[in-house]
Amino acid sequence: MTEQLYYQNVYLRECTAMVRTCYKEKDRYAAVLDRTVFYPEGGGQPYDTGTLGDAKVLEVHKKDGEIVHYLDRPLEEGKEVTAEINWERRFDLMQQHSGEHMVSGIVHEKYGYDNVGFHMGSDVITIDFNGILTEEQLGEVENLVNQKVWENRNVEITYPSEEELRTLPYRSKKELTGEIRIVNIPETDLCACCGLHVTHTGEVGMVKLLSVQKFRQGVRVEMICGNRVLSYLNEINTQNKEISVLLSAHPAKTAAAVKRLWEENFQNKGKVISLEERVFQNEAESLKGAGNTLIWEEGLESDSVRKLTDAVMHTCQGLCAVFSEQKDGSFKYAVGEEGGDLRTFIKEMNQALQGKGGGKPFFAQGFVQASKEEIEEFFRKLSPTVCGSKK
Ligand SMILES: [Zn+2]
């Protein structure tokens, strides 16, 4: 069995070790050492990465009781190598893991809920609890957890006897047998865990609970700790500064400024719609009795294309077709004729102009992937009155 140096000292970043075995497995190499600083995936904590001599350590897993380091190149058996972990990654994982214990312990103590699912992602940590927490309660938990962080409590690791364990109110996801490792964060959490933790809670730095949402019978909480809080703060701060400059609003009042902008936009949209309707009515008036009519527009929404067609078809006494060119060069269209039956016509048009769409016998709407010339060519046989902005 490989000597697990990380259990003796979690701050050990490197060691020398002897390569006991090394073999090829699929497209990579697997090495077992006499001792290691590399933590294999376990207890919800991801594996360490780093280097073994010249080889990159890609993953580390426990397999048949051995700690197997998966490498990008082979190592000579019997040779001594230097093992070095990616400390930044490890310390980040220790911060997240200890923070997660503290949150779970406090939620358990305060609300009696169990942590029933836990995932340490590369962005956020998620914890699933088997009970409901409100945003307000989440805020209380966050305050309590951070107080415990700043009290800089010692994190104690113990291996109690079976008798001691019977009276110990520790958290555990499953029934455990054999030697049990207990992680004790005084007045905060007591939990059976094989993962690696900071030795003082102050090293967690800060715990930020990002969100809570209903999940199965309880809730899922998203959280980050330590350096991830700083990165998050930087990202959000940069975003907010940009919004603040764009809206000439104080950084603490950007939400109110966005709300005002949204309301303005909503009102303007209403004005645009009523102006558009007046323009369409005028156009319909001017095309009274014009017969078959082909109208060119640019950038109109489907709804406006429909409204314009509807207005003109009631006055022109023929077929009315509106084509509005879109940014990608395609055209949105609507074709209508009061009391008409356009089904065959639309079918032929869609075929000729690579279009899609349909509707009622007297009215159809869709789009075509054709040029203005091709559309004009198709409509030439109807000899329509041609009007609109793109004559
Ligand atoms: Zn744990």
Check which CATH number belongs to the domain holding 51 and give it: 2.40.30.130
> What is the CATH number for 208?
3.30.980.10
How far does the centroid of ligand 1 lie from the alpha carbon of residue 174, in Å? Answer: 13
Over residues 115-156, the pLDDT tens digits come to 999 999 999 999 999 999 999 999 999 999 999 999 999 999
204-232 per-position pLDDT tens digit: 999 999 999 999 999 999 999 999 999 99
Q: List, in sequence order, every beta strand (DSSP E) within 125-198.
A: 125-129, 156-158, 182-185, 189-192
- 238 is a domain residue: no
Nearest of 246, 31, 27, 212 to residue 131 by alpha carbon: 212
224 and 341 both lie in a single domain = no
- Residue 391, pLDDT score: 38
Tell me the pTM: 0.80
* C-alpha 285 to ligand 1 mean position (Å): 76
Q: How many domains does the chain have?
A: 3
SS3 224: strand
Q: Give yes or no: residues 105 and 227 share one domain.
A: yes
Distance 42 CA to ligand 1 centre (A): 9
227 and 103 belong to one structural domain = yes
What distance lies between CA 66 and its chain's CA centroid?
Answer: 36
Are residues 107 and 33 part of one domain?
no
Q: Say if 244 falls within a structural domain.
A: no
* Interval between CA 16 and ligand 1 midpoint (Å): 28
Residue 40 · residue 30 · CB < 8 Å = no
Residues 61 and 110 in one domain: no
Ligand 1 centre to CA of 194 (Å) is 6
Same domain flag for 112 and 36: no
Expressed in angstroms and rounded, the spacing between residue 172 Cα and the centre of ligand 1 is: 9
Q: Which of 85, 106, 134 is at the close of a domain? A: 85
Domain boundaries, position 144: 91-232
Q: For residue range 332-381, what is the model confidence (pLDDT) as tens digits? A: 999 999 999 999 999 999 999 999 999 999 999 999 999 999 999 999 87
- Residue 279 CA to residue 98 CA, distance in Å, equals 66
Residue type, 141: V
